Chains A and B, each alone.
Chain A
């Protein structure tokens, strides 16, 4: 490529850039009123943020929006932190103690075993099982005994 070609290309590029800028500037001037007012609202909000003071990154808002985190309430932050740490410790200790108690004392299992053994005894004890089965019959016998006249000790024998 000769110097003349290079110069020609550069001037073509410049003309192209100028035309592109003209198109872009026209589109900027064409921004409608609704968009313009939304942009103005965005600008006002941004300026309010700037006037509200430094941004608290951890809380995600400005100090004016979040008065709990203002520097003059440093003690609140410190107290809150201590409370959080204490609560976490209490929970951890409670979980640890609970798990160790469960490991050393298995009462639930023993209770379950005793209940199971009792059931087994009932099932294996044939006489008692028969008693349970004939419970209605024995109840009927009791009713008969109550209705029947009393029997005297003197039965005439002897």
Chain B
């Protein structure tokens, strides 16, 4: 459920870095979790992004923090995925003879922290929907996923999304529309 604080965080610029980070940390965690698919890794990535924002951009106007933060977060996610990819290649090289079918990691969404909702049926439905959404987002190219999540989940306009992604407004529109088309195709039955 969206709280009043979340709504305020989207509509008015934050007054302090602390309140900005407090407002955004849970969203940033979920955002990172979709991209890195492991809660501990997502926490690390979010913490790195927070530290980088505080170190380098604490003196910038509050209105700039959101796109800057998500730009840093996106870069951290890309770095993480690149490193994981290299690590995975090395590990698969050494364990090729042991296991042929590859990824034995548990489903990160299934392993994600439990929610606060006490009704198991509601929780199950929510988890199911988020799992499906997360898996569908995981099939998208990174730039399409980023554009969709920033535009839709973070309510950023095209200019803010372009700043956060470090690309042109045209690229944002292209990535976003392709992402929507692909997600609708994948998630048709979940609507």
Contact = CB atoms under 8 A, between A and B. Distances in A.
Most-contacted residue by chain B among A15, A19, A20, A47 (CB, 10 A): A20
B142 interface: no
A27 B126 contact: yes
A113 B39 CA distance: 72
B181 to A, nearest CB: 8
Interface residues of B, number: 43
A31 B133 contact: no
The B interface, classified by DSSP as helix, strand, loop or mixed, is helix
B43 A42 contact: yes
B111 to A, nearest CB: 12
A7 B133 CA distance: 25
B115 interface: yes
Given A16-B191, A45-B51, A46-B47, A26 B1 contact: yes
B1 A25 contact: yes
Given A16-B191, A24-B130, A43-B25, A35 B50 contact: no
A49 B51 contact: yes
| Main SS at interface, chain A | helix
B146 to A, nearest CB: 14
Contact of A45 (B18, B27, B47, B53): B47
B125 to A, nearest CB: 10
B159 interface: no
A121 interface: no
Interface of A: 12-13, 15-17, 19-21, 23-36, 38-40, 42-43, 45-47, 49-50, 54-55, 62
Given A24-B30, A24-B133, A50-B17, 7 more contacts: A17-B180, A24-B130, A36-B26, A39-B43, A43-B21, A49-B51, A54-B55
7 contacts: A17-B151, A20-B133, A24-B152, A31-B30, A34-B113, A36-B26, A42-B43
